[in-house]
Amino acid sequence: MYDITDYHEATSLAEVFKLAAADPKARIVAGGTDTLVKSWAEVPAFTGIALIGITRIPELQGIVCQEDGTLIIGALNTFVTIEHDPLIQKYTPLLSQAVSLVGGPQTRHMGTIGGNICNAGPAADSAPALFTYNTTCEIQGPDGVKNVPIADFYRGPGQTILKPGEVLTRFKIKAGDYQDFHGHYTKFARRNALDIANLSCAALVKVQGEQIRDLRLCFGAAGPTPLRMPVAESYAKGKPLTDATLAQIGQLCLQDTHDITDWRDTKAFRDHLVTVLPGRDITAALRGA
């Protein structure tokens, strides 16, 4: 049995705020694919606490495209829903591809995109895509609504800026951040399923003829949080699409990554992947174009 003291099924955000105010130690749980695993492993912050379930709150569902082209993705959408959603596939296919690689089908049926980001794992598969789309996170709390760029949402591994009682409610992607871009994501792991990335890389590229007009790169598991690559991205603008350019982009990424050696992989191998995955992703993205 899980070491939890109580369970509340919230049916509205207002109810979450009320429950969280009454019990500030209570933890919010969505699909449970991270939270329950941590509780099972007796991670202190996940035991001896009450859980507030939020999967039955209608405000957190839905995927819509606004008139100005902004894509709004409810935080409680599961990976399976995101993967197959026609709007996601049409406007942000990189995100559809990325979440199709999470865990296995069972995990993708329960796990949610909001939970994936709130869990703040450095290797979360939805994160690099959301970073490259310059996604805004909408946070609602008892004090109102805040909009925060996803890069500012993370404080460290497993740490976000969310305060007790606050809920990540929606992701917003502006039309200018997906139009004319081509994307590809590589999850470099030992198995094709039920694994966590040793290193992952998302690339979003816009080209004009043989020239790179815009490039966005984000690595997972190359530092304490997902990381964008400002040095390589600014170098790439206006450069010709050649093997030499792609190789140089890979080399420049080493200036912004912070690879470490852990049980999953060595720093040396991760550094090697950092230099090659961006070129492969850019090539794959443009082949699919």
List residues near other proteins by CB under 8 A.
1-7, 9, 29, 32-33, 36-37, 40-41, 51, 53, 55, 80, 103-107, 109-110, 192-194
The token pair that represents 163 in the structure block: 């305060």
Nearest of 172, 133, 169, 168 to residue 153 by alpha carbon: 168
* Measured distance between the N- and C-terminal CA atoms of the chain, rounded to whole angstroms: 49
Indicate the residue among 53 and 62 with the shorter CB distance to other proteins: 53
Q: Strand pairing partners for 289?
A: none
The token pair that represents 137 in the structure block: 């996170």
**Shortest Cβ 192–other proteins spacing (Å):** 7
Q: Using CA atoms, how far apart are residues 17 and 39, in angstroms rounded to an integer?
A: 23
**Shortest Cβ 12–other proteins spacing (Å):** 17
Indicate the residue among 109 and 146 with the shorter CB distance to other proteins: 109
How many helices (H) and strands (E) would you count in the chain? 11, 14
**Shortest Cβ 80–other proteins spacing (Å):** 8
Cβ contact 92:173 at 8 Å: yes
Indicate the residue among 56 and 155 with the shorter CB distance to other proteins: 56
**Shortest Cβ 220–other proteins spacing (Å):** 19
Cβ contact 185:129 at 8 Å: yes
- Sheet of 27-29, strands arranged across: 4-9, 49-53, 27-29
Q: Using CA atoms, how far apart are residues 63 and 77, in angstroms rounded to an integer?
A: 8
Residue type, 225: T
**Shortest Cβ 36–other proteins spacing (Å):** 4
Whether the CA torsion 99, 104, 106, 111 is positive or negative: it is negative
**Shortest Cβ 288–other proteins spacing (Å):** 18
